[in-house]
Amino acid sequence: MSSEFDALLGDVGVERFLSEYWQRKPLLIRQAIPDYSSPVEPDELAGLSLEEEVESRIIIKNGSHPWELRRGPFSDEDYKQLPEQDWTLLVQAVDQFVPEVAELLQRFRFLPSWRVDDVMISYATPGGGVGPHFDNYDVFLLQVEGKRRWRVGQHCTSESALQDNPDLRILREFECQDEWVLEPGDMLYIPPGIAHDGIAETDCLTYSIGFRAPSHQEVLVHFTDYLAHQLSEDVRYSDAGLKQPQDPAAIDPESIDRLQQSILELVQNKEALATWFGRHMTEAKYPELAQNYIDDDADLLAGLNAGYGLIHNPCVRLAYRVTESSEIELFASGEHCRVPGELKALVQLICNQSYLSPEALEQWQQDAGAIELLEQLLDKGYLLLERDDE
Ligand code: SIN
Ligand code: CO
């Protein structure tokens, strides 16, 4: 089956990429996005790193110690003191600040959109990089300006030996298995756990499209917490029909069986798991930033009549699911609401379209449930009124 996204993956295409490479092995795609012009120039990236709400880092290869990490926000003075080369600036979640960068994510919609973490942009001077390391997430490294040498190495785990560095997880050993120089438009996919090391050959800009995957530890802690909050105090350990213990001080296997049975019954609640998962995967990276967009005066119908459409708040993630009873659960920023199944097409539109034009929403304007949902999303600041001026 061919897909509109095939071109991004060169000769490999989406189907083969998903079956052979995704989460399994690295893939270099030459000219994945030819002629891609960076919406953010290096000086603008540096400008972002001066902002309080932006997460940024500078890594200097031979600073006060090897691989010195400095955390932003930075000042102009900080930049004046940097060496000529061998350093890199990394700015996290640029997609949340620059809509044109968020647009790049449209090309990755052959993957679930709720798996996307962010687009990080790095600017590196020759020799600059973050050192040999591995990530727990899948990442696509798009070379946007300049040249960078990427080496990929062994499979790593939390047991892999690290260098003695106070801030960064730099690998002690790197067993190089492949090496390429990436030029503008080239892209390298790296699965979780694969060692990699990118060293700038010239001044360069690299975009990292990163994907989130919760650890099992996170799933257990947060899901059971979510479940626990819904349980009443009355539901507790019970041992009706208890046999007189041989030794009252011994915790016998039957007691543990009883406990295990109750836990299994609780965690087997698949609907609760699905709801929790939707909430968890849509949690905002920076919840306080998402709040900044709330406009108390926004009036949906007046806005639509005046030719405004709706866009996503750039800091909010949206997803939905169909429940067992065919209702729709819409997830936004770690919250959810349930709407009747008849609104599925609207929910799909809301989640998938970055701009909902007044025309696209016209058919829903007579539907009280649809208007209520849109108004709720507007009030929460998850959707924003905006005119499409293109
Ligand atoms: C970088 O852009 O320098 C780092 C990206 C990565 O290795 O994940
Ligand atoms: Co990495």
| Predicted local confidence at residue 201, as pLDDT | 98
Distance from the alpha carbon of residue 338 to the mean position of ligand 2, in angstroms: 38
Please state which CATH class domain 287-385 belongs to. alpha beta
Minimum CA distance residue for ligand 1 atom 4: 130
Looking at the domain 6-211, which fold is it? Jelly Rolls (2.60.120)
- Where on the phi/psi map is residue 228: left (φ > 0), alpha (ψ -120 to 50), or beta? alpha
Segments making up each domain of the chain, as ranges: 6-211, 216-234+251-268, 287-385
Of ligand 1's atoms, which has the minimum distance to the CA of residue 120? Answer: 2
Picking from 331, 358, 367, the residue whose alpha carbon sits closest to that of residue 347 is 331
Ligand in closest contact with the CA of 88:
1
Go through 335-351 and write b for each residue having 16 or more CB atoms within 10 A of its CB, e for each that does not. Answer: ebeebeeebbebbeebb
Q: Looking at residue 166, what is its pLDDT?
A: 82
From the CA of 122, give the closest atom in ligand 1.
2
Residue 54 CA, chain-centre distance (Å), reads 16
141 CA: nearest ligand 1 atom: 5
Asked if 356 and 309 touch (Cβ cutoff 8 Å), the reply is: yes
- How many angstroms does the Cα of residue 192 sit away from the middle of ligand 1? 13
| pLDDT, position 389 | 65
For the stretch 226-272, pLDDT in tens is 999 999 999 999 999 999 999 999 999 999 999 999 999 999 999 99
Ligand of minimum distance to the alpha carbon of 57? 1
Query: Which of 205, 206, 207 has most ligand 1 atoms within 8 Å of its beta carbon, as the pocket-test mutant?
Result: 206
Dist. CA 257–CA 262, nearest whole Å: 9
- Report the atom number in ligand 1 closest to the C-alpha of 207: 2
Instruction: Look at ligand 1, atom 2, and give the residue with the nearest C-alpha.
Output: 122
Q: What is the 3-state secondary structure (H, E, C) of 288-310?
A: HHHHCCCCCCCCHHHHHHCCCEE
Chain-centre distance for alpha carbon 101: 14
**What is the predicted pLDDT for the residue at 390?**
54
Measured in Å, residue 111 CA sits from the centre of ligand 2 at: 19
Collect the ranges in the chain with pLDDT lower than 70: 389-390
Q: Which atom of ligand 1 is nearest to the CA of 133?
A: 7
Kindly report the pTM of this predicted structure: 0.94
Name the amino acid, one letter, at 185: G
Backbone region of residue 67 per phi and psi (left: phi > 0; alpha: psi in -120 to 50; beta: other values): left
Q: Ligand 1 site: residues with CB under 6 angstroms?
A: 88, 122, 129-130, 135, 139, 141, 196, 198, 206, 208
Share of residues in the chain with pLDDT > 70 (%)? 99
Determine the pLDDT at residue 147: 98
Q: Which of 321, 324, 348, 326 is nearest to 336 (CA)?
A: 321
Q: Which residues in 183-217 are b (16+ Cβ under 10 Å) and which e? A: bbbbbbbbbebbbbbbbbeeebbbbbbbbbeeeee
Q: Whose CA is nearest to atom 1 of ligand 1?
A: 122
Q: Which atom of ligand 1 is nearest to the CA of 130?
A: 3
Q: How far is the CA of 317 from the centre of ligand 2 (A)?
A: 23
24 alpha carbon – ligand 2 mean position (Å): 16
